[in-house]
Amino acid sequence: KPAGRYHAAALHLLASASIALILALVVFVLWYPSPFRDLAGGLHLFGLVVAVDVVTGPLLTLAVFNAAKPRKELMFDLTVIGFLQLGALAYGVHTVAAARPVVLAYEVDRFVAVPAAQVQTSELPDAPGDLKTLSWVGPRIVGTRTPRDAAEQVQSIQLSFQGIEPSVRPSWWVPYPEVIDSVRRRMKPVDGLGATLSLEQKTRLSQAVARSRVDSGKLFYLPLTGHASDAWIVLLDGS
């Protein structure tokens, strides 16, 4: 009966939406805390996962469900749909997890939000302290060291040409307090930023300054780049 088909699809939609809600809490509270859902592309990636999980599965149920079918055949059809949906969901969650930012690294004159997939995991044993494992609860703030000698500097330049920057190399990570002096030398006054911004950007900057509760004359900034955007900055308290 058509009513039975719509009822089954509605139940499938409800179950899929419930799973998507749980995943949303994990993704946006733990993996992509604000503002990384935009900076690292988490919102877009999660939208694709939800499109598969919440839309495709129930639509397939609506297409194949028929109460007149033998029970065994109907269960087979629904089981196949369930496995297809779970497979697609697992792949989507894996993709979202691989793109999650695991470190916010200060590198030369900017901050970089580094996704898990770009980290050179073979170097993790050489990372300092608790940085030997990748975070599942938002990015850690780290610095990057300078080359130890000329040979290492040449190697670093060669790797940079291949897209492997120090920020993605755990053996080059250092605790953030070790680079604070460099940050202070490189940071620029927020008050001088306004002339280069659009009206929308000026509004967002004013809101961020207000939330910081620090006088704008004591605020500084450095560029922040991520997987999905490089039009961000990090506000720094210079007092």
Q: What is the pLDDT of residue 2?
A: 58
With cut-offs at 50, 70 and 90, classify the pLDDT of residue 56: confident
Q: What is the pLDDT of residue 80?
A: 92
Distance CA 107, CA 172 (A): 10
In this prediction the pTM is 0.84
With cut-offs at 50, 70 and 90, classify the pLDDT of residue 228: low
Q: What is the pLDDT of residues 154-165, one digit of tens each?
A: 999 999 999 899
Q: What is the pLDDT of residue 219?
A: 93
